[in-house]
A and B are shown apart, each in its own frame.
Chain A
Amino acid sequence: SSELTQDPSVSVALGQTVRITCQGDSLRSSYAGWYQQKPGQAPVLVMYGKHNRPSGIPDRFSGSSSGNTASLTITGAQAEDEGDYYCNCRDSSANHLVFGGGTKLTVL
């Protein structure tokens, strides 16, 4: 299957740690990319590869992967981290991208 599954919503208390997960068979052979999207804005890449953060992304964001599950962890969540988070990876053909359904993160 080329589908990626994410929890629809997750909440975290301000300053606490939250993990957002992404599951799918394609993740056994491909690393995930993670994107943050705020209302009315384009997605922004926040994590890619094994555990790479693009320039400008705070180091409270980290990534990990095991088997068919990729995770994005925010350590010490801030109010500005609220938004929708999407994972993606390539499918088995390596010619198509697939996205997870997205996780809405609420910082309480």
Chain B
Amino acid sequence: QVQLVESGGGVVQPGRSLRLSCTASGFSISDYAMHWVRQAPGKGLEWVAVIWFDGSNEFYADSVKGRFTISRDESKNTLYLHMNSLRPEDRAVYYCARDGLVGATRVSFLDHWGQGTLVTVSS
């Protein structure tokens, strides 16, 4: 069955970098757009970034554009989120999620989610 497992979260100082990973199983990330979504403690869901099924495009929320980079390794069936210049307001649980439409070049809904990994930005 479809599974998404995030890792890489932790405590990091403001201004530093962190890389999150999301290992997928039960499907190929080459067939689906993949997203990162975050949730600050006690807050709602915030979409962060997407990478197209073929890796041809990436799009970001304004709040992270220029600081975060989404990427993937097809050979490892793994999605990444490279986070630079981290700020206290980036503190959140980060979820990876699969877009609901195979081979789509428009974002839609998210049909499978990982369990999330917590990122805390604090000195």
Contact = CB atoms under 8 A, between A and B. Distances in A.
B47 A45 contact: no
A51 B39 CA distance: 26
A28 interface: no
Given A33-B109, A42-B95, A90-B106, A99 B45 contact: yes
Interface in A28-49: 31-33, 35, 37, 41-45, 48-49
A100 B111 CA distance: 17
28 contacts: A32-B109, A37-B45, A43-B45, A43-B110, A43-B113, A44-B113, A45-B109, A48-B108, A48-B109, A86-B44, A88-B45, A88-B110, A90-B108, A93-B59, A94-B107, A95-B50, A95-B57, A95-B59, A95-B106, A96-B47, A96-B50, A96-B59, A97-B107, A99-B44, A99-B45, A99-B46, A99-B47, A102-B44
